Amino acid sequence: MLKRREIDFQIFEMLEAERLCAQPAFLSQDRETIDAILDSAQRVADETFATHTALTDAEEPQFVDGRVRMRPEVKSALNAFVDGGFMGTSFPERIGGLQLPYIISQVINWIFSDANVGTAGYPFLTMAAANLIQAHGSDEQKQRYMLPLIEGRWFGTMCLSEPQAGSSLADIRTRAEPTGEGDYRISGTKMWISGGEHELSENIVHLVLAKVPGQAAGTRGISLFIVPKYRLDEHGAPGPRNDVSLAGLNHKMGYRGTVNTLLNFGENDDCRGYLIGQLNQGLAAMFHMMNEARIGVGLNAAVLAYSGYQHSLDYARNRPQGRPATQRDPSAPQSMIIEHADVRHMLMRQKVYSEGALALCLYGASLVDRKQLSASDEQAAEIELELSILTPLIKAWSSHYGLKANYWGLQILGGYGYTRDYPLERIYRDNRLNPIHEGTNGIQSLDLLGRKVLQNQGAAFRLLMTRIGETVSACTGHPVLGEYASQLHQAQMRVLEVTTALGKLASGGGIASLLANSWTYLDMLGHLVVAWMWLRQAVVAQVALDQPGGDQAYYDGKRQACAYFYRWELPQVLMQADQLLAMDDSVLTLRDEHF
Amino acid sequence: MLKRREIDFQIFEMLEAERLCAQPAFLSQDRETIDAILDSAQRVADETFATHTALTDAEEPQFVDGRVRMRPEVKSALNAFVDGGFMGTSFPERIGGLQLPYIISQVINWIFSDANVGTAGYPFLTMAAANLIQAHGSDEQKQRYMLPLIEGRWFGTMCLSEPQAGSSLADIRTRAEPTGEGDYRISGTKMWISGGEHELSENIVHLVLAKVPGQAAGTRGISLFIVPKYRLDEHGAPGPRNDVSLAGLNHKMGYRGTVNTLLNFGENDDCRGYLIGQLNQGLAAMFHMMNEARIGVGLNAAVLAYSGYQHSLDYARNRPQGRPATQRDPSAPQSMIIEHADVRHMLMRQKVYSEGALALCLYGASLVDRKQLSASDEQAAEIELELSILTPLIKAWSSHYGLKANYWGLQILGGYGYTRDYPLERIYRDNRLNPIHEGTNGIQSLDLLGRKVLQNQGAAFRLLMTRIGETVSACTGHPVLGEYASQLHQAQMRVLEVTTALGKLASGGGIASLLANSWTYLDMLGHLVVAWMWLRQAVVAQVALDQPGGDQAYYDGKRQACAYFYRWELPQVLMQADQLLAMDDSVLTLRDEHF
């Protein structure tokens, strides 16, 4: 359930998408054109995606005779998606794209994922694969492999993990032996491959991490290969099967519409792959795309959080149950449960988590656009720096708190929420994936504290603090917002203190102690950043409220939600700062038998 | 996965079960006898319950031609349960029970629920029904209905909710019209009835809340009826079908082994029911059993939390992935993930939540026994007072934090945790029920703050504070435990301050404002009480550590977990106390359009 009002607020009011779209780098787009594209996306999503969400959850893809059998509605929906021109939204017009800003493509993602997150998985994986080839492929590779992806004729996958190597990609075992004919013979097993096998498209382009024998151990010996399901003939048409076979399907708690596979490469020693980018630069190429993939995961988590919020809000407005505590007459009519204080808390928690996460993820997406538009290398580097520290927060905070939002949404529906008759049950299962994939939240916390915060003498962290400080300064002394600015500043000073202390620990060589409580650090910094996002939303709301005219209730709701976040959530930052400042690393000295 | 060591600690070391079992009120039981009973329960659970847990989750009960079809393994397991003598564990010997203390019956519940929480649902509902008849039924009703339940020939249900009346029982519509022949004609629809229809037993005894026409509106006009599936002949044998029909099954996220039904009573105007207890005292009779039912839900949540902890611990000990942050050589062997600090945090959170909840629930169970053994009415009343305030905490804290424990357990397994190949996925879905049923956690928070804390001039709250104070006093000045005692005391003083302030609000008539933040109050008080439980555990561990001999690692683990709770969890009490002292009730003034 999607409220278009919220999309408009997030992109046009918060991120000035209209001005962004008018930049020459994009096809000249006015508000009307963007609105028409979003209307069209919503229509396709409503008519073809939302109609089979429960169905493909109940009847997940099956492994039959080495092939994947799935509901036919998935293919019909994806055909409509491709026909609607949504596959290439952010790609240049000259290669068949719509040349829209990245944030608009993310809003389209929002619309389709809200309707059916399982079916939406295929095109978004395909776009990620096309993006990677665009960034690192040769001209020939772009011509032969990227264009059919953007045209939606072929679909793509990312093959990173293996059964024994998930978080630790250094330990992958898939091999790529040069054939002497310019290509490579691939052999190995890849795990958790979404969209790894299906009959939804004419071909599947796997992007596969593998090691060429004789190169360095660990991550510095990893290269990236294009491995098509069907090899191409000289005209680029799919020819004979490549030696990639489906070894099994993973049966997941949720996201069941997206088939998830175990793939064997080269069982018959005849799997051909084509190096993309430089030898041994495979992980770097893959991580180049990781920012965007992680924005995508964060956004999906935020979208599911917001969907759950809207569904539970609808239920709360229409379910009569109980009476106010002051109503002693049992024959009085029952209240709608939205009247109960505890239900309102559950709604507000969902609102501050989901709209806070949406604001954060879309802010991150806007940095991708601003980087593209930047006037100088220095400016681009600065934007990249800001995005680099926000990325683990976008991924991990949104998925951790997005799931909490769904917990409260389901709780509002009570027993009904626990049944498959209402969508909260499915949304809750779907969203449980997001803290896990694209790097678990624990891995994100190591990335944040071990790399992003401390590297370059803390440059990214300082930049983030400057950005938050700018919003604080702009609000200081304001009759309504000044109070929040002051609270945010206070929390920011505590976070700075913690980070400085941890920096000293790091320079003293205490890397293990530094990282001992990395999740708490991410949780703290994420809450600070989302408090900043809420103040940014309140600023925009306040400007609107100061003008006469309609929609006051919507903006007042934003201001109320900001107040709620500062009252009930921000204190966690101070508490966690105290905990971290204690510099306790006793978790390191626990022994196995203590558990 | 159950560690017998933990059972022994919780009941023999924490609650002195051996001394309890030796009381004349129980069949004279020594440690060896209890051990043999628990061994036997574990064997039956392993051999017949644990063997079909995944199966009945995958193939949930089906509605076929008005009947329930389910896997045959359920019936075999329940036969073994009954044959093992586990149905009547806490009932007197003279009526076929084992006459064991309530805590021992709860440990047997633990063993079977750990093995298969879905199949374990049937006997525990049956025991609850037998309990209710024992407490409120006539001698004839006990003879005709209770004995077959204790013998395990018939099964029981509790029929409270209706589609339009879940949390608000005042609004039930099921009617009971006197027939003039001493019984009643029942008509209405009951929702969420676990075990409402099946062919596992010769008969089903429904205990049904209904309203006799002409009586008071609301809860004061509710009576309780025995409604058998098959009416009894003069010898008490099941005769013709009563007019109770299965209208449908609920399809749930988890707990799928327990069939959950929608039942129609009196569709053909021929459903006979028999009043149990006094007219219009139905809700009181039902609530009489509620303490125990809520201990049961809390314990199930704690059991699932502990199961998930043990499974993820096992995985963490055996899964190699990654290397220490200080290890730069990628060809060095990978570490087991239990070596990683972030994984240890996830394990410790599970340990403190699950073992804290187990300690709390079993402490509550021990009060049931102590009440039965009490030497005077005053003593019994005092124990009842303590149990009354702990009950909503047992139910709501254990289910809220038990599910959090499962969240972290699943996270340790990463992608594997999200699949149905490992039990965490199922446990996480199963445990999502516990914050909902037997009164949602929101309802528990209203019960806690609106009734238990404030009624009788705060007598129950003061008693709880006294109990906590006793543990604090006993530890004050101790070289190891003194520090925790001091922190607990400090937190207790803040909770007292909050409660006093809320009491003033209540006496000023501000009932709506008082209840505005009831969940935060429950969360705060629950954390305080579990901190107390952890200090109690640390005390027992310290005594053992002060003596020479084996098992030092186990006790040291308890002490480490206590330290962990005080470092990472207790500060939440202080934060929430600050939030509550702000006496903010702005959630009440939100308008519908703000959401």
**pLDDT score of A29:** 80
B5: which residues sit within 8 A by CB, 6+ positions away?
A: B554
B16: which residues sit within 8 A by CB, 6+ positions away?
A: none
Q: How confident is the model at residue B204 (pLDDT cuts 50, 70, 90)?
A: very high
Average pLDDT over residues B92-117: 95
Which residue of chain B comes nearest to A344, CA vs CA? B587
Give strand pairing partners of A64: A67
In a 10 Å sphere around its CB, with 0-12 CB exposed, 13-18 middle and 19+ buried, how is residue A281 labelled? middle
Average pLDDT over residues A112-130: 96
Average pLDDT over residues A414-432: 97
A184 residue type, one letter = Y
Residue B485 has pLDDT above 80, yes or no: yes
**pLDDT score of B571:** 98
Q: Is B317 on the interface with A (CB under 8 A)?
A: yes
- Alpha-carbon gap, residue A79 to A108, rounded angstroms: 16
Q: Do B415 and A432 touch (CB under 8 A)?
A: no
Q: What is the pLDDT of residues B228-279, one digit of tens each?
A: 999 999 999 999 999 999 999 999 999 999 999 999 999 999 999 999 999 9
- Residue B192 Rama label (left phi>0; alpha psi -120 to 50; beta): left
Write down the H helix ranges in A137-241: 139-141, 147-150
User: Among residues of chain B, what percentage have pLDDT more than 70?
Assistant: 100
Q: Do B560 and A594 touch (CB under 8 A)?
A: yes
Distance, C-alpha A559 to centroid of its chain: 26
Residue A3 has pLDDT above 90, yes or no: no
B180: which residues sit within 8 A by CB, 6+ positions away?
A: none
Q: Which helix (H) or strand (E) holds B233?
A: none
Q: Are B150 and B132 contacting, i.e. CB atoms less than 8 angstroms apart?
A: no
Token code pair at residue B287 = 């609530």
**Of A188, A8, A174, A211, the residue nearest A104 (C-alpha):** A8
ipTM surpasses 0.95: yes
Q: Do A165 and B428 touch (CB under 8 A)?
A: no
Token code pair at residue A511 = 């890397």
Give strand pairing partners of A262: A248
- Count Cα atoms within 13 angstroms, Cβ side, for A1: 13
Q: Are B123 and B81 contacting, i.e. CB atoms less than 8 angstroms apart?
A: yes
Do the bridges between strand B67-69 and strand B62-64 make them parallel or antiparallel, or are there none, so unpaired?
antiparallel
Handedness of CA B514, B518, B524, B530 (dihedral sign): positive
Q: How confident is the model at residue B285 (pLDDT cuts 50, 70, 90)?
A: very high
Do the bridges between strand B184-194 and strand B238-241 make them parallel or antiparallel, or are there none, so unpaired?
unpaired
Q: Are A401 and A461 contacting, i.e. CB atoms less than 8 angstroms apart?
A: no
A495 CB neighbour count, 10 Å cutoff: 24
Q: What is the pLDDT of residues A293-312, one digit of tens each?
A: 999 999 999 999 999 999 99
**Distances, alpha carbon B336 to alpha carbons A267, B306, B414, in Å:** 30, 21, 14
Average pLDDT over residues A158-170: 94
B46 residue type, one letter = D
- Alpha-carbon gap, residue A100 to A90, rounded angstroms: 5
Buried b (16+ CB within 10 A) or exposed e, B444-453: bbbbbbbebb
Active site residue B438: yes
Average of per-residue pLDDT values in chain A: 96
A325 CB neighbour count, 10 Å cutoff: 16
- Strands, E assignment, A195-235: 203-211, 222-228, 230-232
DSSP-based three-state secondary structure for B342: helix
Q: What is the DSSP letter of B200?
A: S
Q: What is the pLDDT of residues A24-73, one digit of tens each?
A: 999 878 899 999 999 999 999 999 999 999 999 999 999 999 899 999 99
Q: Is B328 on the interface with A (CB under 8 A)?
A: no
Q: Are B87 and B151 contacting, i.e. CB atoms less than 8 angstroms apart?
A: yes
Handedness of CA B547, B552, B558, B562 (dihedral sign): positive
B314: which residues sit within 8 A by CB, 6+ positions away?
A: B1
- Alpha-carbon gap, residue A193 to A160, rounded angstroms: 8
Write down the H helix ranges in B374-440: 377-417, 423-431
Note which residues in 243-262 of chain A have CB less than 8 A from chain B: 250-254
The pairs formed by A12-20 with CB atoms below 8 angstroms and a separation of 24 or more are A13/A540, A13/A544, A14/A359, A14/A362, A14/A363, A14/A536, A14/A537, A14/A540, A15/A103, A15/A362, A15/A363, A15/A366, A17/A101, A17/A103, A17/A104, A20/A101, A20/A103, A20/A366, A20/A369, A20/A373
Suggest the residue from B253, B426, B433 to mutate for an interface test with chain A (most A CBs closer than 10 A): B253
* Tokens 């060589």, located at residue: A509
A550 residue type, one letter = G
Q: Are B488 and B538 contacting, i.e. CB atoms less than 8 angstroms apart?
A: no
Do the bridges between strand B260-265 and strand B244-249 make them parallel or antiparallel, or are there none, so unpaired?
antiparallel
**pLDDT score of A506:** 85
**pLDDT score of A290:** 79
Residue B578 has pLDDT above 90, yes or no: yes
Average pLDDT over residues B339-363: 98
Q: What is the pLDDT of residues B215-242, one digit of tens each?
A: 999 999 999 999 999 999 999 999 999 9
- Alpha-carbon gap, residue A185 to A251, rounded angstroms: 30
Report the gap between the CA of B227 and the closest CA in chain A (Å).
24
From first CA to last CA, the distance across chain A in angstroms is 43
A556 residue type, one letter = D
- Alpha-carbon gap, residue A499 to A503, rounded angstroms: 6
- Alpha-carbon gap, residue A33 to A43, rounded angstroms: 15
**Of A122, A192, A134, A137, the residue nearest A159 (C-alpha):** A192
Token code pair at residue A466 = 């400057």
Using CB atoms, which residue from A407, A436, A446 is nearest to B411? A436
B165 residue type, one letter = A
Token code pair at residue A308 = 């759950």
Token code pair at residue A84 = 């609607």
B489: which residues sit within 8 A by CB, 6+ positions away?
A: B469, B472, B476
Q: Is B138 on the interface with A (CB under 8 A)?
A: no
Q: Are A263 and A322 contacting, i.e. CB atoms less than 8 angstroms apart?
A: no
User: Among residues of chain A, what percentage have pLDDT more than 70?
Assistant: 100
**pLDDT score of B160:** 95
- Alpha-carbon gap, residue A189 to A274, rounded angstroms: 17
Suggest the residue from B160, B336, B430, B590 to mutate for an interface test with chain A (most A CBs closer than 10 A): B590
B276 residue type, one letter = I
Which residue of chain B comes nearest to A583, CA vs CA? B567
Q: Which domains does chain A have, with CATH numbers?
A: 4-151 (1.10.540.10), 156-280 (2.40.110.20), 281-323+335-439 (1.20.140.10), 441-585 (no CATH)
**pLDDT score of A28:** 74
3-state helix, strand, coil in chain B (%, to 5): 60, 10, 25
**Of B339, B315, B311, B308, the residue nearest B325 (C-alpha):** B339
**pLDDT score of B53:** 98
**Of B214, B220, B135, the residue nearest B178 (C-alpha):** B214
Residue A1 has pLDDT above 70, yes or no: no
Residue B1 has pLDDT above 70, yes or no: no
**Of A568, A571, A560, A559, the residue nearest A487 (C-alpha):** A571
Average pLDDT over residues B467-475: 98
Average pLDDT over residues B184-191: 98
Residue B548 has pLDDT above 90, yes or no: no
Using CB atoms, which residue from B325, B425, B594 is nearest to A515? B325
DSSP-based three-state secondary structure for A161: coil
Q: How confident is the model at residue B27 (pLDDT cuts 50, 70, 90)?
A: confident
Chain B residues with CB-CB distance to A594 below 8 A: 553, 556-557, 560-561
- Alpha-carbon gap, residue B432 to B578, rounded angstroms: 30
Residue B414 has pLDDT above 80, yes or no: yes
Q: Do A595 and B338 touch (CB under 8 A)?
A: yes
In a 10 Å sphere around its CB, with 0-12 CB exposed, 13-18 middle and 19+ buried, how is residue A446 labelled? buried
Question: pTM for this structure?
Answer: 0.97
Q: What is the pLDDT of residues B291-319, one digit of tens each?
A: 889 999 999 999 999 999 999 999 999 99
**Of A28, A16, A98, A134, the residue nearest A370 (C-alpha):** A16
A276 residue type, one letter = I
**pLDDT score of A533:** 98
Average pLDDT over residues A314-330: 92
- Residue A460 Rama label (left phi>0; alpha psi -120 to 50; beta): alpha
A423: which residues sit within 8 A by CB, 6+ positions away?
A: A53, A54, A307, A308, A311
Which residue of chain A comes nearest to B509, CA vs CA? A326
Q: Do B252 and A554 touch (CB under 8 A)?
A: no
